[in-house]
Structure 1
């Protein structure tokens, strides 16, 4: 295991002296821009598509907003923080035809390089600067004087200084306060996709929905079923984050621990492992990425799925509970 680097180990000049265009002003783009400015990066411009609803937010935050083509002509480095699935279109239509020679490309996920959505020119530093967590959390932790654990990688080092730029960027968004580690584009991509599909999003949601339905079928009220199978997920996640899995088991009731241990192996049985294997195969062979990018580029991705989710009984139970706890039904 490689020892981490911290802010005290890193020279921030490579990013502070850089003309930096940040493409996208969602959770990642806004958090990175604000943190980098607070870390002394003075020459930042936000690059957005014409008509982007994020323009007013970026301007209200005090940033100059420019078009994507102009950003490609102006910047020493571009931080491409738009959604991964949009990278091919953005690169092909706006960056590649106009880019400044020697311009570096910084990404917060390995997806578009690992799967070949972007074909980098030989004169470009291609850098991964990944703060591991939701984009909004980058800013939240920075404001606490902390950060999210960071991982860096270099796919292409045309300048001979790509590593220094990657480390400076991560230190600038706060990762140097908790530790920065090396990785590869492949490792970050595979781990990120697998984790969110089988545990953090796909697995958790599947368990929550199925367990809610089973309790309601057994005659339990939707409100009680929602509390025990969905609402309380946060409290267990907080315990695991603070104390680890073993520490979580030590913190909960003995009844809960005993019951969990009785069913844990059955849930993680052969069929689940086969599901994991199928998910990993699709990630490794690129078929998941191809399907997803094609779906996105066809338009209206997941609109129908999201509409169906809103009609599920578990959603009605959750909205009712939240309205009582928080005063709204969001």
Structure 2
């Protein structure tokens, strides 16, 4: 279901944006430009000082929550469970709307908001810098909207109003799509577990085969794969034209090669996607990642060491230095 509306329901409300990072800064600024009263909750770090320089009243996170009618939890996923009980204590028994920009913690039981609050999700499909750029042009962007708890009977209205207030819907290019918290978390993780890792694995295998077995210069391989920027241009055309229609901008040799191999590889990739989807939906990944964090992230750090130590990473570093990017 596609949703539409405006931000009028938020007029006269105090909105606390918790976390002034990538999404927090962008959403706070757009909400303020929409004529709404916005305060920021953040720990004492550079992000807090940035919010103060940007003219916001900034408080510790519980204090900001205690002053607000609408509480937007825009902290990193792994931080949210550590502070959420303090937020709940600060809000107490009064009515409040709690908004999440990701369904992850609520969907997998890492946060269990009390029933006495409206609990909504407005999840932008746009990075913070992109939100601000589009806002400057009067343009909107896609968001996924959900409700986990409708205590007041108006939770959906509040969710839609927040989506309008942050400049997503009600503008050209904007769209709000109704989903559950779990559906949002599921497709977000599935994208991160299949599309992007498969692309990275393809790059790594491409690089190793081309350089080790066929002697192609690393610089040529990296430029062909992504370093030239051509891949980013293709992705941009996918967003504007569609994954298949953008193929018409390629040579017929390229069209045939891509389509024939996509259908050739489909069954193999489908099995990978099915397996990852099951692990995500059943909560296996959420448990895995929680345990990894509790252990001090040893596997996470080892994976980064392996990536940085790869031949491809070394080749990339050399090329990017030649190009003046590092």
SS at 2:40 equivalent: strand
Could you tell me how far apart the structure 1 residues matched to 2:48 and 2:297 are?
22
Could you tell me how far apart the structure 2 residues matched to 1:20 and 1:299 are?
34
Contact map agreement 2:2 2:178 (CA 8 A) in 1: no
Counterpart of 1:95 in structure 2 is: 87
Segments of 5+ residues of structure 1 without an aligned counterpart are: none
User: Closer, same or farther in 2 for the Cα pair 1:215/1:16, shift >3 Å?
Assistant: farther
Could you tell me how far apart the structure 2 residues matched to 1:288 and 1:190 are?
11
| 1:305 CA drift (Å) | 2.5
Contact map agreement 2:122 2:163 (CA 8 A) in 1: yes
1:58-93 deviation digits (Å, cap 9, x = unpaired): 11111122112212322112111111122211213x
TM-score using structure 1 length: 0.90
| 1:4 CA drift (Å) | 4.4
Counterpart of 1:39 in structure 2 is: 34
Counterpart of 2:204 in structure 1 is: 209
Structure 1 residues 1-330: aligned runs within 5 Å:
2-5=1-4, 10-42=5-37, 44-49=38-43, 51-92=44-85, 94-100=86-92, 101-176=94-169, 177=171, 178-199=174-195, 201-217=196-212, 218-231=214-227, 232-270=230-268, 272-300=269-297, 302-325=300-323, 327-329=324-326
| 1:103 CA drift (Å) | 2.0
| 1:157 CA drift (Å) | 1.0
Could you tell me how far apart the structure 1 residues matched to 2:77 and 2:129 are?
17
Contact map agreement 2:18 2:73 (CA 8 A) in 1: yes
Provide the aligned length of Structure 1 versus Structure 2.
Answer: 318
Could you tell me how far apart the structure 1 residues matched to 2:301 and 2:17 are?
28
SS at 1:129 equivalent: strand
Could you tell me how far apart the structure 2 residues matched to 1:103 and 1:131 are?
22
- Of 306-315 and 83-92, more deviation after overlay is shown by 306-315
Could you tell me how far apart the structure 2 residues matched to 1:147 and 1:205 are?
30
Contact map agreement 2:3 2:160 (CA 8 A) in 1: no
User: Closer, same or farther in 2 for the Cα pair 1:102/1:132, shift >3 Å?
Assistant: same
Contact map agreement 1:85 1:292 (CA 8 A) in 2: no
Root mean square deviation of aligned Cα: 1.9
User: Closer, same or farther in 2 for the Cα pair 1:175/1:262, shift >3 Å?
Assistant: same
Could you tell me how far apart the structure 1 residues matched to 2:306 and 2:51 are?
33
SS at 1:155 equivalent: strand
| 1:300 CA drift (Å) | 4.4
Could you tell me how far apart the structure 2 residues matched to 1:58 and 1:120 are?
27
1:168-214 deviation digits (Å, cap 9, x = unpaired): 11111111112222221122111111112211x22221212221111
TM-score using structure 2 length: 0.91
SS at 1:78 equivalent: strand
Could you tell me how far apart the structure 1 residues matched to 2:219 and 2:22 are?
32
Contact map agreement 1:128 1:153 (CA 8 A) in 2: yes
